[in-house]
Amino acid sequence: MEEPPDPHDPGEGPRVGDNPRADEDARSESGSDASTSGSESVSEDDDDEPMLKYQRLGGAVPAILSDDVASCACAGGNIIVLGTKRGVVIVLDRGGNELRRFTDAHRAPVNDVCLDARREWVGSCADDGTCAAHALYDDDDAHASSASTRVVRCEHDAGPVRSIALDPRFSSRGTRRFVRGGDDGSLVLSASNKNGGPRRDVVLHAGEGPVRRVRWAGTLIAWANDVGVKVYDEARDRRIAHVDRPRGSPPPGAYPPHIAWCDGARTLVIAWADCVKVAVVRTRTLTASERSGRPLRSKTTVARFVEVVAMFQTDYFVCGIAPFGPDRLVAFAFVDGGGGEAAGDAADGEASRAPSSRPEVRVLTWKNEDLTCDALTMKGYESFQAGDYHLAACVPDDDDRYDDRYDDASGSPSSDTAAYYLVSPRDVLVGKPRTVADRLRWLVEERGDYEAALEACDAAVASAVPAIPRRRVRDVIADAYLQSHLDAGDPARGASLCPRLLGTDALKWERWIARFAATPRALPHLAPYVPTEHPRLSTAAYERVLNAFLHDRRDHARFLATVKAWAPTIYSVPSMVSAVRRKMDTGAGGDSPTLREALAELYLADGQRDRALRLHLELGRPSVLDFVNRHGLLPMCANMEGTTYDAPAGTNTLARLARLDPSRAATMLADASFVKGALCVPAEVTVRALTEAVNAADVRGTRECLHLYLRELFKRDPDAGERWHRTQPALYAEFHPEELLNFLERANGYDLADALAVCERHLLLKEQVYLLSRVGDAPMALDVIVEGLRDAKYAVTSELDAYADELWTGLISRVVKTAGSSPALVGNLMDALGAVDGVDPRRVLAATPVGTEVEGARNRLRRILTRSRRAEREAEARRAEAERELAEIEAMVDAARRRAFDDGAVEIED
């Protein structure tokens, strides 16, 4: 046996000192009850989604552990290997079915088992100092290698062997190599020819206490003793790192260390009792001096070293650790409730020991953030301690021939290849990352969060996640979502979700129409969302929706709105007419004005326009105008006799419409008067109908409509209704007196005397002034201005200025006569005459009696004089300009005359 290297030589890599950081964060246990197939998982916070699902391993496992006790385990590919207290090594498939059993390998409890990279060989070691490597397949098996030696044995007399690791290429190399460590403190690399021959042992390290764990990945061997964890690069024949055991850690015999390689041989996870460290293997380029000091056979120019990138303290003891996707870990945790002691033989038990807590599975990040915490009920957990539990993880990495796939929905390793076997002396549970289907089931059944479930399902479909019947699962979730609202008595919310959940699938829509119909008063809520195109449903489906409105009088308004909104081609109109008439005939609240209006709409859709119009007129509601206008029924109204429906004798249809809404009716009738073709209602017809109604009974609504109609005609074309101008002054005076003066100024067809009489009755003074000026009665107009309007300025703006000086003389005399009672008129007249050319405002003062107080006389005179002087200056300037222009013209004429008769310009011929 070769001498070991110096145990204190850190090799090429740095020695990583111990600097444990106690993470003070309280334990946050999340997850949910993920119990399946006999296992039980309890979480302390059911609001968070679990990340693992659990199942008790069946098959041969219950029988095996009823007679024996599991002492260690490992897993890889599709197999799991158990070592027992009786020295037996058992190989199982993922279902727990026994594949192979090796009973003659050891005579004492098995301490460790392992597999090579190809899962063709299983290694084991035991308390009796023996190590063994067994081939899993026979020579003629398709999986078997070409090796002729199927068993490699090694006996060690220096004490129990605690851990063993096979060369990852054990089955493919010509030399069978494995590394072992035990209580003697030596880490030994053993090698033998695959065809037999003597074994050669090399001591890689010794002298630091028992070697408690060994793991080999690629060319790197990591082992843990009582001092710390070291890493050896067998390709470079050098130790590259040392990671100290945390100070103050519990005894390693009671809480053995656990190490696991992740990402092939790139990351090493170390768990010492309640402390976790994550180390990354890095490379650096060798310096020239380092390369010159290497053996000639070594041609490498890079060196490896290990760097600790994460370290944290836990509030539990780690019984096993493994990777769980990028920057995440799975820890098999033992929570010491305070009554536990050092771990011992679980089978022997200790009566004085308090019952232990259930073991837990923690999914956490490298920053010690708990993502989930599941407490597991394992058989006999009350009597077990930390050293009795083992974690055998099967997580593919880049070195495996299996795909490294991740589930898009959870970010966890794919459930097809990842499995975490949780082993106790009497039980084995397997935890697997939850799939999309598991997440959907949890969201629906546990949380009732259908929206999140639909989002997750859509995300899975978009990312093409396999292993779920995509469209069918979404349909199931959508159905459960809608049904939950019906069961909760909220059909309105369920109906609003239908367009998004049912899409354009006609069969789904018809199925859910039937379900809503089976729920009392639910179907009316669905009606606004039922599609009429894309997709088009069956006629029966639409009729079912419409019939649902008829049962309750409160839904009649929705029935009317639906009939108006839906095209009559998608359902049977005669069938719905019959259904409505039956409902109306039953009485007991079946008949209602809204239902009659809906029946009118159905009559119209069925081509029975006259019946539809009569129904609307019987209702006597302003909405009939919308109905008439929407369907162009004004000509029919004009030709309909009033006695054919429920209306007072002598009342025609147009008058009936006018009474409902005079303004709207007038606008509609005016529009109809200016259109061509069948929709035209001549003005003669309208005026005659409205006039007859007014004469028969002086109803304000009809008379107002007549006025509004003629007013609208006048606005659009003043000549269109000239024959009725005679009647309009009285109508304007009654309804729009502020517009009468404009009408009188623009219209020609009215009688001046009649209009003047109307204005006198209604005390319309300005209109009287205008009409008096039209008939030539200026004195009377002045009397109205002075005595009625009391506004002398109005004379300037009226047409009375045509009477020139007589007007102003008469106006001045009338104002002066009233100066005693209305002195303000004097000043008002002065202001008015100040704006008139050719009239001297001082005539007002000259005629005003002495002693009359004129408000602001001085200012008024100043303004008048200022204006008069300015007017005189402007007149003088205009006269001077005219004289200058005249002189220029005369000069040009004289010049032209002289040129024409100049003697030199005339030639006389003999």
List, for residues 834-852, the tens digit of each pLDDT value: 556 556 666 666 666 665 6
Q: What is the pLDDT of residue 340?
A: 45
> Mean of the pLDDT values across residues 293-303?
64
Query: Using a CB cutoff of 8 Å and minimum separation of 24, what contacts does 414-419 make?
Result: 416/467, 418/394, 419/75, 419/94, 419/393, 419/394
Read off the tokens for 781. 């107009």
Q: What is the pLDDT of residue 190?
A: 92
Q: Which of 578, 613, 571, 615 is nearest to 594 (CA)?
A: 615
Single-letter residue type at 864: I
For residue 47, pLDDT beyond 70 = no
Edge to edge, the sheet with strand 390-394 lists 52-56, 427-433, 419-424, 390-394
Q: What is the pTM of this model?
A: 0.61
Strand 317-323 vs strand 89-93: parallel, antiparallel, or unpaired? unpaired
Q: pLDDT digits over 417-458, tens only?
A: 789 999 999 999 999 998 888 888 889 988 889 999 988 888
SS (H, E, C) 128-165: CCEEEEEECCCCCCCCCCCCCCCEEEEECCCCCEEEEE
Single-letter residue type at 13: G
Read off the tokens for 251. 């005894």
Q: Tell which CATH classification among 3.30.390.30, 2.130.10.10, 3.40.50.150, 2.102.10.10 matches the domain 52-138+148-337+355-400+413-433.
A: 2.130.10.10
d(CA 661, CA 655): 10
For residue 36, pLDDT beyond 60 = no
Name 856's Cβ contacts closer than 8 Å, sequence gap at least 6.
Answer: 827
> Mean of the pLDDT values across residues 146-161?
70
Q: pLDDT digits over 861-881, tens only?
A: 777 777 777 878 888 899 999
**CA-CA-CA-CA torsion for 479, 480, 483, 488, nearest 10 degrees?**
-160
Query: DSSP letter at 533?
Result: S
pLDDT higher at 6 or 859: 859
For residue 14, pLDDT beyond 60 = no
Q: Which of 421, 453, 362, 437 is nearest to 31 (CA)?
A: 362
Q: What is the pLDDT of residue 470?
A: 59
Q: pLDDT digits over 359-403, tens only?
A: 999 999 999 999 999 999 999 999 999 999 999 999 876 444 433
For residue 647, pLDDT beyond 60 = no
Q: What is the pLDDT of residue 406?
A: 33
Three-state secondary-structure class, residue 667: helix
Q: What is the pLDDT of residue 804?
A: 57
> Mean of the pLDDT values across residues 175-203?
89
> Mean of the pLDDT values across residues 185-213?
89
Average of per-residue pLDDT values in the chain: 82
> Mean of the pLDDT values across residues 238-258?
90
**Which of 61-70, 468-477, 797-806 is most confident?**
61-70
**Which of 142-151, 286-295, 322-331 is most confident?**
322-331
Q: What is the pLDDT of residue 751?
A: 93
Residues 90 and 103 sit within 8 Å (Cβ to Cβ): no
Q: What is the pLDDT of residue 373?
A: 93
Q: What is the pLDDT of residue 562?
A: 93
Distances 830 to 492, 778, 819, 825 between C-alpha atoms, Å: 77, 20, 13, 8
For residue 97, pLDDT beyond 50 = yes
Whether residue 535 has a cis bond before it, omega within 30° of 0: yes
For residue 13, pLDDT beyond 90 = no
Question: Of 308-322, 386-400, 598-612, 743-757, where does mean pLDDT reach its minimum?
Answer: 386-400
Q: pLDDT digits over 757-794, tens only?
A: 999 999 999 999 899 888 888 788 888 887 787 776 77
| 11: confidence class by pLDDT, cuts 50, 70, 90 | very low
Q: How many CB atoms lie within 10 A of CB 854?
A: 20
Q: Which of 795, 799, 866 is nearest to 825 (CA)?
A: 795
| 42: confidence class by pLDDT, cuts 50, 70, 90 | very low
